[in-house]
Amino acid sequence: MKKLKIFVWISIMSFGCVTVEETVVDYDYSYYGRFDKYKTFDFLETQNIGTTQLHSELIKRSITKRLQSQGYRVASKRPGILISYKLFYNDLMMHSYSQPSFDYWLTSRKGADYLLDPETEEELKEEEEELRKASKEYDPIKCELKEGSLFISFFDRKRKKVIWQGFASGVFGNEQFDNERFVARTVGKILDQYRILAEGFGETDSD
């Protein structure tokens, strides 16, 4: 199996929320993610619901630039990842999970064992059962989010499942949220938690 390539300029091995300035950043991930296989992405058409056009354009542009810097390409046909994003302008209570850090899971033997990439229907059913058992290890928790929150969700297009979700809470505590640089930093804080490079990015032929 290929080793997952992860940005080395960020070092986060934590359990729970990461606080940066007044913004609280956190994420959830799924065992269903084939994180060593993705190299293209596109955006879901419904992501703008409840989000102003200005914010939507700033967020989308910031996500695109960040993922392109990690080697991912925008692809309108059969992208590996579909992305949605949404702003919640009021306080919010959400259900989350207490999990090992994403980096730890990716590099552990347990994480590697679940990246099976099944090819037959029988293999898929076997993997689904293993993943259902693994998901029971998630401990559900409730999070109270204040002052508006930005959510970014990654969907595996083929499996039709959410594989990763990151969010920043308290983004409206800063009056600069309509500023592109501030939005880019907020998106960056969220995607700092998703540090995987696209499949094949940075590799060179040995021949």
207: tokens are: 């021949």
Q: Quick one: pLDDT band at residue 87, thresholds 50, 70, 90?
A: confident
Q: Which residues pair with 152 in a beta bridge?
A: 85, 166
- Exposure class string for 36-68: b at 16+ Cβ within 10 A, else e: bebbbbbbeeebbeebeeebbebbbebbbebbe
pLDDT of the residue at 134: 60
- Write down all domains in the chain, each with its CATH number in brackets: 18-191 (3.30.160)
Q: In whole angstroms, how far apart are CA 179 and each of 21, 27, 48, 54, 59?
A: 17, 24, 18, 10, 11
This prediction has a pTM of 0.76
Between 5 and 91, the more confident residue is 91
pLDDT of the residue at 192: 94
User: Quick one: DSSP state of residue 70?
Assistant: T
In percent, how much of the chain has pLDDT > 90? 29
pLDDT of the residue at 46: 65
